[in-house]
Amino acid sequence: MMGKTLPKLCVMAAVLAAPPALVQAQDQAEAMELAIAKATLAKDDFTGETVLDLELEERSVADFARITTDNIGRALALKVNGQTLTRPTINAPITSGQIRISPGMDPDQPDLATVVEELQADGAVITVEVQPRETDEGAAEAPSRNIPSP
């Protein structure tokens, strides 16, 4: 009996010994500013809609790749001057340094032509903010539909 209990106690001790910052970091919002090298309006090949294409400065590409790699499945707010442009869910790492924002992705989205003017200024940045899990849309801790609940 002691042999079966010991592994469970070791696992529990490891969890309890984890630093609080490490445990809490998964559910706290992470934010950073990314430097913009280029902001342009373009026409989407499939929809014909005008979209905002952003190219990150080299120094911001790795930061954006890391934040998107580490937070797959979470919502990411992209903001300019405090206004949210879009709040998509991260489905895959974005390592290219290229971001495309389509119109209407967020009901309160500002006019893209105005945004591109703001982002064409020297030193322009976009703020990206990983949303805490408890505020992610559709991220309720429900059991998977592929795995039956016990």
Q: Determine the length of the chain.
A: 150
Digit-by-digit pLDDT tens for the chain (150 residues) are 555 544 433 333 333 333 333 333 445 568 999 999 999 999 999 999 999 999 999 999 999 999 999 999 999 999 998 889 999 999 999 999 999 998 876 667 788 888 999 998 888 899 999 988 754 454 443 322 233 333
128 three-class SS: strand
| pTM for the predicted model, two decimal places | 0.67
Supply the pLDDT for residue 29.
Answer: 65
Strand locations in 60-132 (E): 76-80, 83-86, 98-101, 125-130
Strands 30-43 and 125-130: antiparallel
What are the chain's domains?
Answer: 34-132 (3.30.1360.200)
Supply the pLDDT for residue 20.
Answer: 36
